[in-house]
Structure 1
Amino acid sequence: MKIQKLNWAGIKIECNKKTLLVDAVEDFTAYSGILGYPRTPLIHFSLTTKADYIVFTHLHLDHFDISIIEKCLKPDGKIIAYKKLEKYIPALTRHVIYLDYDEIFTEEGISIKSVFSLDGIGHDQTAWIIECNGFKIFHGGDTIWHNKFWQLGKENQNIDFAFLPINGAIVNFQALGLAYSTIPASMTLEQAFNAAKLLQARELIPIHYNKFSTPYYQPEELNEEDFEKLSKKISQPYRLVEDGYFISGE
């Protein structure tokens, strides 16, 4: 399995001559009024990527980019989505496979499993466990901390990489009708290290950080010392991967 980190929470997986995109977004302008503009350059991958499967955790536009489906999904490709999102995306005319929690889609030696996740502002969301050739990854979208990580680790053993959000963003979405809260709408760095530990993941791969910051979207400020300190405290290895870089699952 070969994995490329894309923008924000996105990854590209290549295995068994198949390509999967998870939460792959190239255009964030729809949320520019809230998130602002990217603080670091974006990776433009759509012109060189043809995907057999496109997978997304939820419908927030920083995780679901419909233009990527149009640009990247092969004519016979499949969209894999959480069952509870079916009523919201009837306009997708491509082949969509909907999975409820703990359901698994298997094809060409690749398995994709939907598991419990919890969105920071109450919208429907799933996390994904993807396995190919004995290598297994967990992708948590922008989940907040919840009490299922113990169970997920026991029921889905031998996770190699846990891709988890770490920016602990405080959101001020009063203009959207949501009351202001000081509780983070995605996991903090410490929560992500703990979640990876409970998932029994070989390594935490941080996602969903260092890209956006506005008065409406206020992320936790991080430095490299924080990573080292928490890794030692929690005994959880991690790896920082820059956008565009590849890591191999062996």
Structure 2
Amino acid sequence: MEIQKLNWAGIRLSAHNKTILIDAAEDFSYYKPVLGDAVEGLIEFSDKIQADYILFTHMHLDHFDKKVIRKCLKNDGKLIVYTGLEVIVKKVVGDVTIIALDLNETFTEDGITFKPVFAMDGVGEIQSSWIVDDGTTKIFHGGDTIWHNQFWKLGKENPDIDYAFLPANGVVVNFEVIGLQYSPVPASLNLKEAFAAARLLHARKLIPIHYNLFAHERCYIPQVFGQEDLERVSEELGQEYMILKDGETLTDF
């Protein structure tokens, strides 16, 4: 499996001559009033990638980019969704082939197995995590989940996860502008929680996502961390990690 880190929480997987996109977003302009401007240049990929399968964890526009779906999904490609989001998705992009799966239900095609599993969104929206397995490499993608009590169970029921892609910015959001009352409790995993979740998933390595790209002094306040913090928490919890920068590719055989 070849794995490329895209913007924010997005990744591209290549396996068995098939291309898979998860949470692949290119246009973040809708959320500029609350996320602010990207602190680094964004990767433009939609003109270069044709996907056989597209997955997303939830409908927030920094994870679900309908323009990417329109441009990148092949004519015979499939949008694989958690059934909890099927009705909403069909209203937005109802003219593509959709495979809807319940939590823990699997769909296998082209030697690749897809499975949505439990997740919990920080502001109460419907969300799933995804497990993708090509027979050689198994990855877990956690969108922007918060801490929940199912990581133990997920680790027991889904052995041999190689890479856990988990959010790490522990962001405090103030979305009163869209009607959500302020809460000081982080709306995604923070760094230590991401390492702990990866350990409970028995992942070979944590790959942090969803950090260091957006910050807004009033609406979107992330936890900031550096290399020393990564090394310290990794050693403390006994969980290995690796950093994939946006655009960087990992080949795992």
Give the TM-score taking structure 2 as reference length: 0.98
How much has 1:87 moved relative to structure 2? 2.0
Task: Give the Cα–Cα distance (whole angstroms) in 2 for the partners of residues 81 and 59 of structure 1.
Answer: 11
Pick the aligned partner of 1:196 from 171, 195, 198.
198
CA RMSD of aligned residues (A): 0.6
Quick check: 1:119 aligned with 2:153?
no
Could you give the per-residue CA deviations for residues 173-230 of structure 1, whole angstroms, max 9, x where no partner exists? 1121111111000000000000000000000000000000001000001111110000
Letter in 2 for 1:85: L
Partner SS, residue 89 of structure 1: helix
Which amino acid in the other structure matches residue 248 of structure 1?
A: T
Which 5+ residue runs of structure 2 have no aligned equivalent?
none
Hey, what's the Cα distance between the residues in 1 that align with 2:135 and 2:90?
33
Equivalences for residues 12-31 of structure 1 within 5 A:
12-31=12-31
Aligned to 2:232: 229
Q: Distance in 2 between matches of 1:160 and 1:90?
A: 32
Deviations 1:123-167 (A, max 9, x none): 000000000032100000000000000000000000000000000
* Cα distance in 2 for residues equivalent to 1:249 and 1:60: 30
Q: Does 1:86 align with 2:86?
A: yes
Counterpart CA distance in 2 for 1:159 and 1:89 is 28
Structural mapping, 1:170-209, within 5 Å: 170-209=172-211
The equivalent of 2:223 in structure 1 is 220
Partner letter of residue 107 of structure 2?
F
Q: Decide which of 217, 240, 245 is 2:243's aligned counterpart.
A: 240
* Alignment match, 1:131: 133
Tell me the alpha carbon deviations over residues 55-77 of structure 1, each in whole angstroms, 9 at most, x when there is no partner.
Answer: 00000000000001111100000
For residues 43 and 29 of structure 1, the distance between their equivalents in structure 2, rounded to whole angstroms, comes to 14
- Distance in 2 (alpha carbons) for counterparts of 1:183 and 1:103: 32
Map 1:46-85 onto structure 2 (within 5 A).
46-85=46-85
Q: Aligned AA for 1:179?
A: Q
Larger displacement relative to structure 2 (31-40 or 86-95): 86-95
Deviation at 1:249, TM superposition (A): 1.8
Query: How many Å apart are 1:88 and its aligned residue?
Result: 1.2
Give the 3-state SS of the residue equivalent to 1:127 in structure 2.
strand
Partner SS, residue 121 of structure 2? coil
Distance (whole Å) between structure 2 residues aligned to residue 86 and residue 50 of structure 1 = 22
Query: Per-residue CA shift, 1:59-102, capped at 9, x if unaligned?
Result: 00000000011111000000011101122122321001111110
C-alpha distance in structure 2 between counterparts of 1:157 and 1:43, whole Å? 33
1:15 to partner: Cα distance: 0.5
Q: Identity over the aligned pairs, expressed in percent?
A: 53
Match runs of 1:101-112 below 5 Å: 101-112=103-114
Match of 2:213 among 202, 211, 214: 211
In structure 2, C-alpha distance between the alignment counterparts of 1:80 and 1:17, rounded to whole Å: 18
Count of residues in correspondence between the two structures: 250
Instruction: Write the letter of the residue equivalent to 1:196.
Output: A
Q: Unaligned regions of 5+ residues in structure 1, if any?
A: none
| SS of match in other structure, 2:47 | helix
Look up the match of 2:151. Answer: 149
